[in-house]
A and B are shown apart, each in its own frame.
Chain A
Amino acid sequence: MNAPTKPIEAFLEREYPAGFVTALEADALPKGLSEEVIRRISEKKGEPEWLLQWRLEAYRRWLTMTPPGWAQVSFPPIDYQDIVYYSAPKRKADAPKSLDEVDPELLRTYEKLGVPLHERARLAGVAVDAVFDSVSVATTFKKQLGEHGIVFCSFSEAVKERPELVRQYLGTVVPQGDNFYAALNSAVFSDGSFVYIPKGVRCPMELSTYFRINARDTGQFERTLIIADEGATVSYLEGCTAPMRDENQLHAAVVELVALEGASIKYSTVQNWYPGDKDGKGGIYNFVTKRGDCRGARSHISWTQVETGSAITWKYPSVLLRGDDSVGEFYSVALTNHRQQADTGSKMIHMGRNTKSTIISKGISAGRGSNTFRGLVRVTPKAAGARNYTQCDSLLIGERCAAHTFPTIEVRHPSARVEHEATTSRIGEDQLFYAMQRGLTAEDAVSMIVSGFCKEVFKELPMEFAVEAQKLLGVSLEGSVG
């Protein structure tokens, strides 16, 4: 009856709990981007010449490119000379050799964030790599994983210890000149995670990376590369937070996944970068390129993302279905509140025969948030028997938010079967009153409805992440009965 109700508003006004700043000394390069800066990043990391040349090539391409203008987002132009491209927590001597040598202040930060680094890691059975500003600070469980021949380390370490793997796969899924932000990342990336699962190995635990932007004016440009060799299986999780700051901060990451014959990679993200305040001041620009390559027959790549943070999200985790009988999946929950903007979705490119893909997207818009689903399903002329199912649902909370859907379907093989379903619904004042009349608070009622809406995506998340995602959306566990 009356426009937006008080309970909804109160629910939407909650503060960002991860918005603290950690007092740490940082070793940072001055602001700005040039060949010189790239050379210094490469030098600081002690990289081989080929990698420096690779970065410089990316930089030269980037100089010729312009930012994409097609997304349903708006923000003032970014001054790329006003960003710090390298910032690392200062160490006393060399890099820490074990967790005991890591700055306790840093460990406390991760504790506050609920990252299970120490004993908690063992209890939870999650191997964690944590990237703070630009460098990776700790990788747990290295030894146990090593016994299976699994490599799980920071990208910098991988460059030193497994250069042949890095060189063989880097940029083969997302080339240097793929897009404006990927090119920038290729030029300046400072760290990230690297995973290699050898032939026939099933990774015995969930691998996990936590990213945190701490320093002011710093961009975070991490690069993640995951390779699952023939018949290998891995599940990888990433979580992200940042302190509250009034300026916008840029996060332009690249993630490349390679699945060889019969391999399976499951990649889950819970993204909670600082979204800016309720008037849209500050927040992270999350411009990310994520792509998986089902290179071998019967390979399987699955993306699951829960995106609740960032002022602007621009990402389209995609799968190239090259191998025959390969499978690509994308499950997404994207929530925008206040003045957040999200333009996200997926691309499924069918090239092999009998390839299958699924896209399930749940967009929740609240406050003045704008939520856009953008999808591409392409069936190439060789992809006989390709199948896709896309479902794209939008939930509106309040009266001032927006939801958009831009699906694109290109089919060039007559045997293809492509399905697309879309719905839009709104949480109504009558639903809240009904639930409250049964003794639930408005907050519980909203959570329950949102949780019910996201059910199909949450069930794809590994258990510990599902819990975190539910908490993030302020929800209690749906489906515990029946």
Chain B
Amino acid sequence: MLDIRNLHASVDGKPILRGLDLHVGTGEVHAIMGPNGSGKSTLAQVLAGRDSFTVEDGSVSWDGVDLLAMPTEERARAGLFLAFQYPVEIPGVSNAYFLKAAVNAVRRHRGEPEYDAMDFLKRVKAEMKAVGMREEFLYRSVNEGFSGGEKKRNEVLQMALLEPRLAILDETDSGLDIDALRTVADGVNRLRSPERSMIVITHYQRLLDYIVPDHVHVLSRGRIVRSGGRELAHELEERGYGWIDEAQATPAAQGAAS
């Protein structure tokens, strides 16, 4: 369903993604691992449509549609969801208001009736219970003063409410203690379904003990350099990222020289 070919992207003229290829089938969970600076977050943001990144080359087809031609909010309404590594605080806007506006924007797009306040509250309260969030978080400003774990739960809550077709989780494990990690992972696992694809971006294989991927890819210097099954994550855990970089060093140097 998602087909990324030869994707090149840069920020402020600096190339980050350099010919990335990735195919994600419907209902599959793909993990993308890689050292810091390899382009993991850039990939997430480019797919979501952040305009501070420039796509230099390549294509992204999503169910046959040119994803890169769609405005950011259209991608979201069509079912692309990004769980942020650093969820953004919006002071003065209540979480309830924000969530309702987002859910209704997506429902409108799908031709479903918008939720009124009562229906919405019923739905959101049920979902909050499932991710272990107290009701008071509905009435606080979006992410303002939330702890790291609370912010990540809020992301999973939004994902549950928006029911995306493609969910990208950008280092959802960062900054979480083991209990919070487990709750968040449970929330994500609940949302696994044959209609929903996921891209799980992580630096550590720890998260993949809880969210078990169908495929694992290693990203280095803006390209997927290794792909494999679940065992690849364990290999990385044991050997670190150094050997990947070493294996890459020769061809990369040649590429730079040409």
Contact = CB atoms under 8 A, between A and B. Distances in A.
Contacts of B92: 449, 452-453, 455
Contacts of B224: none
A364 B133 CA distance: 33
Interface string B128-145: 000000000011010000
Given A1-B11, A2-B52, A481-B120, A438 B97 contact: no
B181 to A, nearest CB: 23
A481 B73 contact: no
A448 interface: yes
Nearest to A452: B92
A80 interface: no
A440 B73 contact: yes
Interface residues of B, number: 40
Contact of A435 (B51, B82, B90, B94): B90
A452 B77 contact: no
Given A436-B72, A436-B76, A437-B73, 5 more contacts: A435-B98, A437-B84, A438-B158, A439-B105, A439-B162
Nearest to B81: A437
B97 A437 contact: no
16 contacts: A1-B52, A2-B52, A433-B51, A434-B88, A435-B102, A436-B71, A438-B76, A438-B98, A452-B92, A453-B92, A478-B93, A478-B94, A480-B97, A482-B97, A482-B138, A482-B139
A439 B77 contact: yes
A6 interface: yes
Contact of A434 (B84, B100, B139): B84
Interface string A444-482: 100011011101000000000000000000001011111
B117 interface: yes
Q: Interface range on chain A: under 10, 10 to 19, 20 to 34, or 35 or more?
A: 20 to 34
A119 to B, nearest CB: 30
A427 to B, nearest CB: 9
A82 B9 CA distance: 59
Interface of A: 1-2, 5-6, 425, 428-431, 433-442, 444, 448-449, 451-453, 455, 476, 478-482
Interface string B187-202: 0000000000000000
A479 B162 contact: no
A439 B102 contact: yes
B90 A439 contact: no
A338 B84 CA distance: 33
Interface of B: 11-12, 48-52, 71-73, 76-77, 81-82, 84, 87-94, 96-98, 100-102, 105-106, 109, 117, 120-121, 138-139, 141, 158, 162
A2 B102 CA distance: 25
Given A452-B92, A481-B100, A482-B94, A433 B138 contact: no
B90 A431 contact: yes
Contact of B98 (A5, A448, A453): A448
A434 B90 contact: yes
Nearest to B88: A434
Nearest to B138: A482
Nearest to B141: A452
A439 B76 contact: yes
A437 B75 CA distance: 8
Given A2-B51, A429-B52, A439-B102, A448 B73 contact: no
A451 B98 CA distance: 12
A44 B117 CA distance: 57
A1 B87 CA distance: 16
Contacts of B93: 448-449, 451-452, 478
Q: Which of A436, A442, A448, A453 has the most CB of B within 10 A?
A: A436
B76 A437 contact: yes
Contacts of B12: 1
A436 B73 contact: yes
Given A439-B105, A481-B121, A449 B90 contact: yes
Given A2-B52, A438-B102, A439-B76, A448 B97 contact: yes
A220 B119 CA distance: 50
B169 to A, nearest CB: 13
Nearest to A442: B73
A188 B139 CA distance: 52
Contacts of B72: 433, 436-437
B73 A441 contact: yes
